[in-house]
Structure 1
Amino acid sequence: MLSVYFLSLVIFALVIAVVVLVYGLQKLRANLRAVALELERCKLTLEISEDVGRFGSWHLNVTTNIVKWSDYVFDMHERRHSLGDPMLEQAVNYYHPTDRPIVESAVQLAIEQGEDFEFRARIITEQGKELPVLARGTCQIGVNGKVLGIFGCVVDLSTPEDRQVA
């Protein structure tokens, strides 16, 4: 008799535990959906801000040398998205030949010494247009003190008149 009572108690406790777990999972799923919606809203806000503000963001992964560009940076360079994110050397080669030493020096100092940078330069788009830009970069430093990457933005400094001529 005692074992039947004990078994019933264990089954009841398991049912309660399952109900609590299911409820917790449903609540977690709802929270996850809310976070996903908020993330999508933030992404859209950033895309609109970049378009209105005529700036784009980028991130250099120092390990892979891949520069991940935002949509606006692709548009600014007139680079097809199907080409993918450029390698560092390709990204630097978009700059006007006389401006490349400034870019290379800034990136090298950032990688080697963790120095943030800002410079004005010109990029040459895929269509051959010259575009004045302001570029900024800030270093992502790992726990060992080494630079993991560089986060940055590039601002289109062209005027509406420049864009009409182009």
Structure 2
Amino acid sequence: MTSDYWPYFLALAFILVIAYLAYRLRKLKTDLQAAQLGLERCELTLEISEDVGRFGSWHLDARTNFLKWSDYVFDMHERRHSLGHPPLDKAIRYYHPEDRPLVQMAVTRALEEGADFEFRARILTDNNKEIPVLARGTCQIAGDGEVLGIFGCFVDLSTPEERQFG
């Protein structure tokens, strides 16, 4: 007689497992939505902070050499967003010619040795303005010591009179 109930027991167990998995999936979806809202709030806070604090952030992926600028970095360079993020060599060419060797050396050392950097330099905007900046870069390093990328920021050192972004 007990063997007659075995298929019903398995069906009930299967239904309970599916119900539990459906519950967990809904919970994970809710948690993901909450995390996305938190991320959006953080991004907005960063954007506001960058504008008020006159700094911009950037990230260089060491594997692809893909560079990503924040909106304020685009504004500092007076680069149209429609042009997209510049390749690394173009980004370095935004620096004053006298400052480029320093920049190239700092980026090369960071990518090869994982060395963080900080320096003052001048950038030349797309509208031919010269802006003094403090540049800082911190390496993102994998567990095996490989440099994955560089996170950095620019601090705009210009005076209010010099700061007339277009």
Whether TM exceeds 0.5 here: the answer is yes
**Cα distance in 2 for residues equivalent to 1:50 and 1:89:** 24
Q: 1:43 — aligned with what? A: 43
Moved over 3 A (4+): 1-4
1:72 is matched by which residue type in structure 2? Y
**Cα distance in 2 for residues equivalent to 1:28 and 1:62:** 32
Structure 2 length normalisation: TM-score? Answer: 0.92
**Given the alignment of the two structures, is residue 151 of structure 1 paired with residue 154 of structure 2, yes or no?**
no
Q: 2:99 — aligned with what? A: 99
1:45 is matched by which residue type in structure 2? T
Correspondences of 1:4-23 after superposition (within 5 Å): 4-23=4-23
Structure 1 length normalisation: TM-score? Answer: 0.92
Correspondences of 1:80-95 after superposition (within 5 Å): 80-95=80-95
Paired-residue identity, %: 64
Q: Secondary structure at the match of 2:161?
A: helix
* 3-12 or 71-80, larger mean C-alpha shift: 3-12
Q: Which runs of 5+ in 2 are unaligned?
A: none
**Given the alignment of the two structures, is residue 52 of structure 1 paired with residue 52 of structure 2, yes or no?**
yes
Asked if structure 1 preserves the Cα contact closer than 8 Å seen for 2:75 and 2:165, the reply is: no
Q: 2:125 — aligned with what? A: 125
1:35 is matched by which residue type in structure 2? A
**Cα distance in 2 for residues equivalent to 1:2 and 1:113:** 70
Q: 2:72 — aligned with what? A: 72
CA 1:23/1:59 → structure 2, altered by over 3 Å: closer, same or farther?
same
Superposition deviation, residue 140 in structure 1: 1.7
**Cα distance in 2 for residues equivalent to 1:146 and 1:10:** 50
Asked if structure 1 preserves the Cα contact closer than 8 Å seen for 2:57 and 2:69, the reply is: yes
**Cα distance in 1 for residues equivalent to 2:15 and 2:47:** 48
**Cα distance in 2 for residues equivalent to 1:149 and 1:54:** 23
**Cα distance in 1 for residues equivalent to 2:116 and 2:13:** 58
Q: 1:137 — aligned with what? A: 137
**Cα distance in 2 for residues equivalent to 1:52 and 1:22:** 45
**Cα distance in 1 for residues equivalent to 2:19 and 2:94:** 59
CA 1:146/1:29 → structure 2, altered by over 3 Å: closer, same or farther?
closer
